[in-house]
Amino acid sequence: MNIKKRIILVEENRLIRAGFQSLFSLYTDYEIVGEACNGLDAIECAKECDPDLIITELIMPRMNGIEVIKEIKKHSSHIKILVLTTYRDEDRILSAFQSGADGYLIKDSSVQELEQAINYILDGNLYICPRITQGIIGLFIDSKRPNAISYRDNLITHREKEVLKLIAEGYTNKEIARFLSISVRTAEKHRENIMEKLGLHTTAALTTFALEKGIVQSSS
């Protein structure tokens, strides 16, 4: 008797989850035993279902995918994790693998590639989408060159650098919105994007980064 591999799907979008349910109903080797639409539920679902594999998005409510991967791997290192996302920037990819991910796949990949990635990971290998491999190799080569600049230094836009400067100078979202003639919600969104791109999740960490990179000058 064939024992199906147990899979949990972590995805905020309900239509995507439904599509996966329909797809995996065609397989005899896998079955989806749980779903989660946010990070905290993903961790609870993993504890309850003890799956062989988790397929997860990186960006979702309540806890991002990187934190979810770290938490699950800390308590259940045997669970394999495949990131399935639209994000293909090298910094996120590296963060995912450093956190314990076993594979990274882009959402516009084919069904055949998804199946290949799942099988490869379940066999104990690491998998990375071929279309993003070149960028990772380039990043590794650049990191070995003298005076190499961290990739994440170039992740944030000019506007985000303006917002980061004001954050580091101690201004609130409301004050930043007024200075830049934008809405408070837009200022908040810029702050969220900066934190996500840089992997820094406190004002103190953002301020330290801004000081280190010369975005803002020390008052001392």
Residues 17 and 73 in one domain: yes
184 vs 156, higher pLDDT:
184
Q: Is 133 in the same domain as 208? A: no
Question: pLDDT of 45-104, one tens digit each?
Answer: 999 999 999 999 998 888 889 899 999 999 899 999 999 998 887 778 888 888 899 999
Q: In the structure encoding, which two tokens stand for residue 166, read together?
A: 């004001």
pLDDT score of 153 more than 60: no
Q: Which of 76, 109, 140 is the last residue of a domain?
A: 140
Residue 148: per-residue pLDDT: 40
Q: Is the pLDDT of residue 1 over 70?
A: no
CATH number at residue 37: 3.40.50.2300
Q: Average pLDDT, stretch 104-122?
A: 93
What are the DSSP calls for 120-187, one per residue?
HHHTT--EE-HHHHHHHHHHHHHHTSTTPPPGGGGTS-HHHHHHHHHHHTT--HHHHHHHHT--HHHH
Q: Is the domain of 66 the same as that of 161? A: no
Structural domain boundaries, residue 186 = 156-212
Among residues 110, 140, 170, the one where a domain terminates is 140
Total domains present in the chain: 2
The CATH number given to whatever domain includes residue 184 is: 1.10.10.10
**Of 111, 140, 169, the domain-final residue:** 140
Are residue 56 and residue 136 in the same domain, yes or no? yes
Shared domain check, 160 and 126: no
Residues 126 and 75 in one domain: yes
Per the domain annotation, does 219 fall within a domain? no
How far, in Å, CA of 146 to CA of 168, rounded? 29
Same domain assignment for residues 16 and 58: yes
Instruction: For 171-191, write each residue's pLDDT tens digit.
Output: 999 999 998 999 999 999 999
pLDDT class of 22 with cuts at 50, 70, 90: very high
What's the pTM?
0.63
Residue 217 covered by a domain: no
Q: pLDDT of 197-212, one tens digit each?
A: 887 888 888 888 888 7
Instruction: Give the helix/strand (H/E) hosting 35.
Output: strand 30-36
> 209 vs 136, which has greater pLDDT?
209
Confidence of residue 163 (pLDDT cuts 50, 70, 90): very high
